[in-house]
Chains A and B, each alone.
Chain A
Amino acid sequence: MGASKLSGMQKQVLSLYRGFLRAARSRPTEDRKRIEMIVSTEFRHNSKEVDRKNFQYIEYLLRLGTKQLDQLKSPDIVSLSSIKVVTSKT
């Protein structure tokens, strides 16, 4: 990983991750752990699976994440949960 100079897109991904962790901090402990678990697994999975040069997909994921973060920040939202879907490619 290029630790010397991060590209603009990498900075955006990191700030989104930080945003999620900050939003998790304002929640009760159990919810906080669940949110952190979901968010970190998602980011780690995508960092391995997604090609670094696939800008369109990364931007798509960033936009999706920003929307989800805005929803999470709203006080009406109670919790965050995720379901694992296995797609069988026939």
Chain B
Amino acid sequence: MAFGLIGRVVGTKPSRLSTAARLIPARWTSKGSEAQSKASTGGGGASLKTFQIYRWNPDNPGKPELQDYKIDLKDCGPMVLDALIKIKNEMDPSLTFRRSCREGICGSCAMNIDGCNGLACLTKIESGSKETTITPLPHMFVIKDLVVDMTNFYNQYKSIEPWLKRKNPASVPGKEILQSKKDRAKLDGMYECILCACCSTSCPSYWWNPESYLGPAALLHANRWISDSRDEYTKERLEAIDDEFKLYRCHTILNCARACPKGLNPGKQITHIKQLQKSG
């Protein structure tokens, strides 16, 4: 019975493939219907969505502008990054943005979509005819279009010394430093950070003091190393950030927890550091 069905399927396939295989499939996909509707009026069957994207070119420097692009949502993937790639491929190759993994793990495509910071590869395009505004991460220096200068952010991360520091060598030399499951569980909610900068650039305190305040991302990582049971420099780490500006610019605004695309809560980790400072 099953063989008979397969036989029938195999029988029909070659005929489809043999006769101009490249022409026929176009009719069966939505692209065909979209091409027809585009030719007619452009509004017919296609659901067009306007994207307003921040543009600024350092080679022709003028005032930054919001440029409109219309995308047919039926012919585009569900995420904002798909729309950006489609615009770059088909409409405007000069649109510049960072992207890498397209799955929300690298943190390259962080940008401000409709007022909220997030990863373009994880933010769904809102259906409906409302315009979507895409701008670079707020209060960051712009290099070109949606690409921002992250050096200050990375330097702040470097300044908290995000590596294991020990005074005594490992108990079994040459082997791993052991850690119980409970101690490892203390790091949950901090190790997942991908340094996308969505949280830091959503913090108003970070906007007003970007050079002196470390920002939620760096402080989250500081807490990650402070809470690591294998690290022996806890006291020194706490003293290094026990600063009016580095730590205490945080006023628990908690925009960071709202913006984090991985669902982490940097504000909670900062509160943990503050508690340790008070008790230590």
Contacts and interface: CB of A to CB of B under 8 A. Distances in A.
A54 B149 CA distance: 19
A57 B61 CA distance: 6
B59 A87 contact: yes
B141 interface: yes
A33 interface: no
Interface string A27-68: 000000000000000000000001000101101100100010
Interface residues of B, number: 12
Contacts of B63: 56
Interface string A70-90: 000000000000000001000
Consensus secondary structure, chain B interface = loop
Interface in B46-81: 56, 58-59, 61-64
Nearest to A61: B58
A57 B56 CA distance: 10
Contacts of B143: 60
B61 A60 contact: yes
Nearest to B144: A60
A59 B64 CA distance: 14
Contacts, number: 19
Interface string B135-173: 000000111000001010000000000000000000000
Contact of B61 (A54, A63, A67, A87): A54
B141 A57 contact: no
Nearest to B141: A63
A51 to B, nearest CB: 9
A78 B197 CA distance: 34
B61 A59 contact: no
Given A63-B141, A87-B59, A56 B149 contact: no
A56 B59 contact: no
Size category of the binding interface on chain A: under 10
A63 B59 contact: no
Contacts of A50: 61
A53 B61 CA distance: 12
B59 A60 contact: no
Given A63-B141, A63-B149, A57 B59 contact: no
A53 to B, nearest CB: 11
B215 to A, nearest CB: 19
B99 to A, nearest CB: 22
Contacts of A56: 56, 61, 63-64
Contacts of A67: 151
Contacts of A63: 141, 149
A67 B151 CA distance: 10
A90 to B, nearest CB: 13
Contacts of A59: 141
Interface in B20-69: 56, 58-59, 61-64
Interface of B: 56, 58-59, 61-64, 141-143, 149, 151
Interface of A: 50, 54, 56-57, 59-60, 63, 67, 87
Given A54-B61, A63-B149, 9 more contacts: A56-B56, A56-B61, A56-B64, A57-B58, A59-B141, A60-B141, A60-B142, A63-B141, A67-B151
19 contacts: A50-B61, A54-B61, A54-B62, A56-B56, A56-B61, A56-B63, A56-B64, A57-B58, A57-B61, A59-B141, A60-B58, A60-B61, A60-B141, A60-B142, A60-B143, A63-B141, A63-B149, A67-B151, A87-B59
